[in-house]
């Protein structure tokens, strides 16, 4: 493999290690009187640390030995909040709450035990949080409040299967949150709940504000300065802002586009209500994101500028803050002056390639079956057409890909591969109907879309149909294996901690996704034949293309045995297949050394397949 790498001058210019090193990312912006705060992930040590922008410079707050990351619902989110003179965060190793002074020093533990916490909000001297406990009788979730002074715990709500986004109004008298019950998922049907504080100081009975009359997914509840309650609802087909009225919830004036993605993680902020029922929001248009302030009469002040992806929004009287990205810029922390619209980059944005070396995304809209699908096409950078193609399948599957600078996509385009990054039917950011199109169709519709894009690009002379590869992570690994088993389109494939046996996954997966497979495929008992028909493990003999697997040994979502069983089945059928297991990785690789190792091995694998004629 070393000799192969040395023979390619482009690999020397942009190595796997460089591609991975460019993977610094940000999450969870918080703004307060003492500055702007964010959580920063660096793949070099796979740690997440809080930084503060104050007095014109950034400083790291999280000391060595701590990493700020929640594992509630396994995917976490909402891992820190601000107090008057410090931050409260979830420590990754023990999942407990800690308070840290802005003056520095060792963080002080607020909780102890086996509970996990996430979606933190601070109000009235207490941390509001989603709490998760693992016990012999199962995994339970509830809303709690933890006092900053002494760690005293108060139960706020329990009884539902899942909770998210606890938030208090400015007076501290109204508490709102999102909850849902099995078998629903947070992107299929949830409820907006609210309760009033009684004169005694206790909370009154919770009432459902929205989500009972018809299935709808609600997320990101917000109170404005006047104490009015708002949220995002997809009742009219897209996640759009709705507000509470005497008659119930009514929509605000909004674009007919999704104003959020699927809530796989807690703590998202893609919109904020403002005075006079205006609001700050980001929304999707053909997969690209816009940012603007929307007034009550429907007028929009566009603040998108040079960026096309915005998340974790915040604002004060002078600035809009966001985590932003574009086709030529990885994630950055930006401050946009509301009056002049001047943009200041506070952190991030280091690009490892010159602008002329970057492959730019081209929007894909193509026919697939009796419908259409979407995605982004990145041309190979060697100027040769038709070129080999790598089809990227995102995880979820109710997730999405975005047209922003991804150093690992550029790694492929630098080596003469084109990339098709797909938002197959079932992906979020294209409305509820598109998202629901995967219902009972997983392993069919997504596979159809993955194969159809090959025909679409080949017919235009952009790619070499004989040199097409497919790769996917998690649920994307399942689509990859199904495409290899049930279609004869791809030369080889890569499954990164991918699902090979949905029935086995149903038996071992965590609570958050415990009913997801029923929605995607059907009831494991009543629809067993459907499962068997769509299980790559049971049809390993139909796979004729070489496969490479990458798997974390600590994975609690797709357990390592799934990959071992699939590998054995392929070997038993005499198929060239290899697997690489990483003892210190969970579901989704984080360590730079492992990410670079996997990227290099995957490229070498495809190159070997092309050279050998396998």
- pLDDT tens, 341-365? 999 999 998 888 999 999 999 999 9
pLDDT for the residue 3: 25
Phi, psi of 349 (to 5 degrees): 90, 5
Does residue 212 or residue 527 have the better pLDDT? Answer: 527
Do the Cβ atoms of 316 and 333 come closer than 8 Å?
Answer: no
Query: In this structure, what token pair is assigned to residue 54?
Result: 């104050």
pLDDT band at 165 (very low <50, low <70, confident <90, very high): very high
Q: What are the tens digits of pLDDT across the range 120-135?
A: 999 989 999 999 999 8
Instruction: Give the pLDDT confidence score for residue 296 in this predicted structure.
Output: 85
Range of the domain at 521: 2-16+353-612
Distance CA 45, CA 48 (A): 9
Residue among 129, 99, 127 at smallest CA distance from 115 = 129
- Given this model, what pLDDT does residue 10 score? 39
Tell me if 564 is assigned to some domain: yes
Report, as an integer, the average pLDDT of 591-597: 91
Kind plus residue range of the DSSP H or E element containing 447? helix 445-459
In a domain, 591, yes or no: yes
**Residue 3 neighbours by CB under 8 Å, 6+ apart:** none
Q: How many domains does the structure of the chain reveal?
A: 1
**Position 191 pLDDT exceeds 60:** yes
Contact 137, 92 (CB under 8 A): no
In this structure, is residue 389 part of a structural domain?
Answer: yes
**Secondary structure of 253-314 in HEC code, one letter for each residue:** CCCCCCCCCCCCCECCCCEEECHHHCEEEEEEECCEEEEEEECCCCCEEECCCCCCEEEEEE
E strands, 83-202, in order: 86-90, 97-101, 108-109, 116-123, 126-135, 138-147, 153-157, 162-168, 174-180, 191-196
Distance between CA atoms of 558 and 357, rounded to whole angstroms? 36
Residue 77 DSSP class: B
Q: Judge whether 84 lies within some domain.
A: no
Q: Does residue 282 sit within a domain? A: no
By the 8 A CB rule, do 74 and 54 touch? no
For the segment 142-163, what is each residue's pLDDT rounded down to a tens digit? 999 999 999 999 999 999 999 9
Residue 483 lies in a domain: yes
DSSP string, 508-557: HS-GGGTTHHHHHT--TTTTHHHHHHT-GGGGGGG--S-EEEEEETT-SS
- CA 483, chain centre distance (Å): 23
The CA distance from 101 to 108, in Å, is 9
CATH code, 576? 3.40.50.1820
- pLDDT tens-digit series, residues 34-56: 999 999 999 888 899 999 999 89
Q: What is the CA radius of gyration of the chain?
A: 24
Tokens representing 238 are 């897209």
pLDDT at residue 590 greater than cutoff 90: no
116 within domain boundaries = no
What are phi and psi for residue 479, nearest 5 degrees?
-60, -40
Distance CA 580, CA 511 (A): 27
pLDDT at residue 9 greater than cutoff 60: no
The residue among 563, 541, 418, 544 whose CA lies nearest residue 492 is: 544
- The verdict on residue 586 lying in a domain is yes
């Amino acid at each position: 493999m070393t000799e192969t790498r040395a023979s390619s001058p482009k690999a020397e210019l942009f190595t796997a290690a460089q591609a991975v090193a460019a993977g610094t990312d940000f999450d969870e912006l918080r703004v307060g009187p003492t500055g702007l705060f964010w959580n920063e992930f660096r793949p070099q040590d796979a740690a997440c640390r809080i930084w503060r922008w104050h007095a014109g410079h950034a400083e790291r707050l999280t000391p060595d030995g701590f990493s700020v990351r929640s594992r509630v619902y396994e995917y976490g989110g909402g891992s820190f909040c601000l107090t008057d003179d410090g931050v409260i965060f979830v420590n990754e190793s023990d999942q407990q709450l800690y308070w840290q002074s802005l003056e520095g020093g060792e963080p002080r533990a607020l909780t102890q035990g086996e509970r996990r916490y996430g979606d933190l909000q601070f109000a009235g001297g207490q941390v509001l949080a989603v709490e998760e406990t693992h016990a012999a009788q199962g995994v339970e979730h509830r809303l709690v409040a933890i006092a900053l002074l002494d760690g005293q715990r108060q139960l706020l709500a329990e009884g539902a299967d899942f909770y998210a986004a606890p938030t208090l109004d400015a007076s501290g008298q109204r508490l709102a949150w999102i909850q849902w019950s099995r078998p629903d998922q947070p992107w299929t049907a949830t409820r907006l709940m609210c309760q009033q504080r009684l004169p005694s100081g206790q909370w009154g009975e919770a009432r459902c504000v929205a989500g009972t009359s018809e299935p709808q997914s609600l997320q990101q509840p917000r109170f404005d300065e006047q104490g009015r309650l708002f949220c995002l609802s997809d009742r009219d087909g897209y996640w759009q802002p709705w507000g509470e009225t005497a008659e119930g919830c009514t929509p605000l004036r909004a674009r007919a586009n999704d104003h959020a993605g699927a809530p796989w993680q807690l703590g998202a902020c893609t919109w904020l209500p403002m005075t006079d029922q205006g609001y700050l929001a980001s929304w999707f248009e053909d997969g690209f994101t816009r940012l603007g302030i929307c007034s009550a009469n429907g007028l929009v002040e566009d603040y998108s500028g040079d960026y096309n992806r915005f998340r974790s929004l915040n604002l004060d009287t002078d600035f809009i803050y966001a985590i932003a990205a574009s086709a030529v810029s990885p994630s950055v922390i930006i401050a946009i002056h509301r009056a002049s619209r001047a943009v200041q980059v506070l952190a991030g944005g280091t690009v490892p390639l010159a602008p002329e070396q970057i492959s730019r995304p081209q929007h894909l809209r193509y026919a697939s079956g009796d419908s259409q699908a979407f995605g982004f096409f990145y041309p190979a950078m060697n100027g040769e057409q038709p070129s080999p193609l790598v089809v990227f399948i995102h995880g979820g599957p109710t997730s999405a890909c975005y047209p922003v600078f991804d150093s690992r996509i550029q790694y492929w385009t630098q080596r003469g591969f084109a990339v098709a990054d797909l938002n197959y039917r079932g992906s979020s950011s294209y409305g509820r109907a598109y998202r629901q199109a995967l219902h009972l169709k997983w392993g069919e519709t997504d596979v159809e879309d993955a194969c159809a894009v090959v025909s679409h690009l080949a017919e235009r002379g952009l790619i070499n149909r004989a040199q097409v590869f497919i790769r996917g992570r998690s649920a994307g690994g399942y689509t990859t294996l199904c495409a290899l088993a049930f279609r004869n389109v791809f030369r080889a494939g890569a499954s990164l901690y991918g699902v090979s046996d949905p029935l086995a996954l149903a038996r071992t997966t965590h609570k958050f996704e415990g009913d997801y497979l029923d929605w995607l495929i059907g009831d494991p008992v009543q629809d067993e034949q459907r499962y068997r028909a769509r299980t790559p493990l049971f049809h390993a003999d139909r796979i004729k293309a070489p496969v490479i697997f990458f798997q974390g040994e600590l994975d609690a979502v797709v357990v390592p045995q799934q990959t071992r069983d699939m590998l054995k089945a392929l070997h038993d059928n005499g198929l060239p297949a290899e697997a690489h297991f990483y003892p210190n990785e969970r579901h989704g690789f984080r360590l730079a050394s492992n990410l670079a190792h996997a990227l290099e091995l995957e490229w070498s694998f495809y190159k070997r397949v092309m050279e050998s004629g396998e």
